[in-house]
Amino acid sequence: AGGGRLLETIRKWYYNAAGFNKLGLMRDDTLHEDDDVKEALKRLPEHLYNERVFRIKRALDLSLKHQILPRDQWVKYEEDHRYLEPYLKEVIRERHEREAWNKK
């Protein structure tokens, strides 16, 4: 149990050290947009997509101004959810299935 707690502490430290949360971004907002991610984004419900676009635009604006959000607006480790993950997993599974089918 002690090792798990230490690992969780390291994860939280790294999350905060990365700095994207200080711009109001979530982990999934920072993914490199390869073909799989682009397809997953197309499948997002409109409200999730709009929230993502807002966070990214706000982060770009803050970055250009060399500012960060007030501390109470930072995305907290516990509040960051992987909203894109289920869609991305589905896209990757479908791609693997297609690749396997095409090998036959």
Query: Residue 103, exposed/middle/buried by CB under 10 A (0-12, 13-18, 19+)?
Result: exposed
pLDDT tens sequence across 51-99: 999 999 999 999 999 999 999 999 999 999 999 999 999 999 999 999 9
Full residue range of the structural domain in which residue 11 is found:
2-103
State pTM to two decimals: 0.87
Which CATH number do you get for residue 13? 1.10.1090.10
Number of domains in the chain: 1
- Convert the chain into a string of H (helix), E (strand) and C (coil): CHHHHHHHHHHHHHHHHHCHHHHCCCHHHHCCCCHHHHHHHHHCCHHHHHHHHHHHHHHHHHHHCCCCCCHHHCCCCCCCCCCCHHHHHHHHHHHHHHHHHHHC
